[in-house]
Amino acid sequence: MPADYDAFLLVSFGGPEKREDVIPFLENVLRGRNVPRERLLEVAEHYYHFDGVSPINRQCRELIAALQSEFESAGLDLPIYWGNRNWDPLLAGAVSQMRADGIHRALALATSAYGSYSGCRQYREDIDRARAAVPDAPIIDKLPPFAGHPGFLSAAAARLRDALEQLPGADVVYTAHSIPVSMAQSSPYEQQLRATAGKVHQLAGAPGSPTLVYQSRSGPPTQPWLGPDIGDYIRRTDSARLIVNPIGFLSDHMEVLYDLDFEAAAVARDRGIEFLRAATVGTHPDFVRAIREMVQTAMNNGVAACAQDCCPPPQRPAARPQ
């Protein structure tokens, strides 16, 4: 049924915007996870390589500006709010501002195109937690993952075609953030990635068959995560020219800039491979239009919400008897 939405909420991961924010930000990200301090400090160096500034907040601002223009052109009178999971502006603050502004029901989009616990259900939990912290909070309905939306696929294919024009004849490999195998087994993450890579490859007219690899794993070596890793792939490939397409990411944030543009590019350079990283969809007009279409569909028909039990968290191994 149609829903009377009076606001749009962009929900994202968040990132530090100055050097002194890096450690507190990473402590927020890793809170409750059994990650050694050494690993936190290792990841902090990735941010220090860029003077402590993650581009993700700037990219959210750019997307919001593009959406405001798109909404206005389509006659959608919806104010846009923005809240992050891990750093300012935090989600609870956005919900509090929405309540102060008299918002009754908002439609939320998380900056994750695929279904998994961390990319879908955890954002729903973040929204519920933020609403619980704000008395009389507005109702917030989260749009489901949208990897199969034609506008998202079209934008991703356009970015790949641009890369193929710069490096003609190159082989194409698709990357996404690795997740624990146990999380992948309880979600459509891997299937959606493979389907998206196949469709984008076809739309872009890329040569050969699509290959999917993973990057940016952060779990202990004893825990199985999705692979192969992009670095391992580059070390083994016979390709002389290689385009890496980060199909699992919406914007060129830290995992793209450091793990691909810095680390993966260095591996390719050592092997004498011509290397190019395709751009993410970012604020491509087809993607911005796709978001507006998802909003209008939800306003006209209601949200095609995920099942309440979708993408459950991965099960922790049972403790061994002492």
Fold equal for 7-146+283-301 and 150-277: yes
- Over the stretch 216-250, which tens digit does the pLDDT of each residue have? 998 778 889 999 999 999 999 999 999 999 999 99
CATH, domain range 150-277 = 3.40.50.1400
- Over the stretch 46-82, which tens digit does the pLDDT of each residue have? 999 999 999 999 999 999 999 999 999 999 999 999 9
Q: In 3D, which of 249, 238, 188, 178 has the Cα closest to residue 208?
A: 238
Inter-residue contact 206 to 160 (CB < 8 Å): yes
The C-alpha angle with vertex 135 and arms to 132 and 138, in degrees rounded to 5, equals 80
pLDDT of amino acid 2: 64
Residue 317, both tokens:
């191994």
Domain boundaries, the chain: 7-146+283-301, 150-277
Q: How much is the CA Rg of the chain, to the nearest whole Å?
A: 20
Instruction: Label residue 261 exposed, middle or buried (CB < 10 Å: 0-12, 13-18, 19+).
Output: middle
Inter-residue contact 170 to 239 (CB < 8 Å): yes
Fold classified for 7-146+283-301: Rossmann fold (3.40.50)
Q: In 3D, which of 108, 119, 181, 106 has the Cα closest to residue 147?
A: 119
Instruction: Label residue 121 exposed, middle or buried (CB < 10 Å: 0-12, 13-18, 19+).
Output: buried
Per-residue pLDDT of the chain (322 residues; tens, 9 = 90+): 567 999 999 999 999 999 999 999 999 998 877 778 888 999 999 999 999 999 999 999 999 999 999 999 999 999 999 999 999 999 999 999 999 999 999 999 999 999 999 999 999 999 999 999 999 999 999 999 999 999 999 999 999 999 999 999 999 999 999 999 999 999 999 999 999 999 999 999 999 999 999 999 987 788 899 999 999 999 999 999 999 999 999 999 999 999 999 999 999 999 999 999 999 999 999 999 999 999 999 999 888 777 777 888 877 543 333 3
Q: In 3D, which of 246, 254, 139, 138 has the Cα closest to residue 200?
A: 246
